[in-house]
Amino acid sequence: MPENIMIPVQIRRVKDPDGRERLKATVPMNLVFEKDFDAIWLEEELKKLEKRYFNLVDRLKHLLELLRSKRQKKQRVLLYWEFGDEIIRFVEQNKDSPLFLEGLTRSLVRDIEFSDKMIQRCKRFRLLYPDASKIDRSKSFNSYVATFEGGYISKTRRRKKHQRR
């Protein structure tokens, strides 16, 4: 394939011949009609991207389990940072690839069942605080979000405030 080409890839749910649903990296069909199309190269590159994406999904699911666990209360703010870090590292790892993942956040929302807003907040948190050692572990993630969203109030605090009225 030409060196400076960029190919959009989407992660989609597809059905196997046996009827089971699974995730698969797909590319636009018009690509196969290109003069320089190299099916073997593309298949290899798609497999590599799928593997990296599936590893990301597994790591993020594990972090979500920890975040939802009551035992992780004290270190929770660092888990949100790590969540954002995983996504940022995935993007960085793939930035020089001729294949780029279209709609990463949308795919993650579907595949890890975490909201778009929370994924964006975790990424932003990690970008604003690139050094985890600078994070005050005694502060909540919501307090950090409030600093970069200006006036953010969590659902829990809104509910409590509403109940007091």
Q: What is the pLDDT of residues 66-113, one digit of tens each?
A: 998 877 667 899 999 999 999 999 999 988 888 888 999 999 999 999
Answer yes or no: is pLDDT of 27 > 70.
yes
Model confidence band, residue 55 (pLDDT cutoffs 50, 70, 90): very high
Against a cut of 0.75, is the pTM above it? yes
* pLDDT at res. 136: 92
DSSP for residue 31: G
Question: Crossing angle of helices 104-112/116-128, nearest 10°?
Answer: 120
Radius of gyration of the chain, Cα coordinates, nearest whole angstrom:
19
- What are the extents of the domains in the chain? 7-164
Q: How many alpha carbons fall within 13 Å on the CB side of residue 64?
A: 15
Task: State the pLDDT confidence band at 41, using cuts at 50, 70 and 90.
Answer: confident
Give which of 57, 40, 35, 47 is closest to 9, Cα–Cα: 47
Residue 54 has pLDDT above 80, yes or no: yes
